[in-house]
Amino acid sequence: MFDRIVAAIAFAAGVTAGIGLFSLYDISIDDPGVRREARAGYVARAEMIALEAELEELRRQRDAIAAWRDRYAVALARAEKERADLERIRESERVNYAGELERAGRACLLDRTDIDWLRRGE
């Protein structure tokens, strides 16, 4: 009977020692490695999410700039057309006025440089 008690105690001590050694291995070697790997994965994922957000922001800015450029090109074309139309109207008025002066027997002594000077407002 004593042998059975000693064997049971020895078995319990062996099991306890095994659990203790496993726990010591788990706490000191395995868990830090698992934590390190988890952190490394988390950092890589966080960096990937940050880079994706940055890429999305750059795309948004690119699209906004393209839309602005298109609006500017349309406005510029419209302004150039209006300027050309006004220039044609002014030239037509000048020619008509010169014709009126000539028919009335008068002369306009202004030449092209004088007209350009008046237009610039100098």
Q: Which residue has the tokens 């004088």?
A: 114
Q: In the chain, what's the furthest Cα-to-Cα distance?
A: 150
Let me know: does 108 contact 98? Beta carbons within 8 Å: yes
Show the domain range for 102: 2-120
User: What confidence tens digit (pLDDT) does each residue in 23-37 have?
Assistant: 777 677 767 766 777
pLDDT band at 39 (very low <50, low <70, confident <90, very high): confident
- How many Å separate Cα 76 from the centre of its chain? 25
Banded pLDDT at 75 (limits 50, 70, 90)? very high
pLDDT in tens, 78-89: 999 999 999 999
Mean pLDDT of 7-21: 76
Which secondary structure element, helix H or strand E, spans residue 105, and what is its range?
none
Count of domains forming the chain: 1
99 pLDDT band, cuts 50/70/90, is confident
| Phi, psi for residue 84 in degrees, rounded to 5 | -65, -40
Share of the chain above pLDDT 90, in %: 37
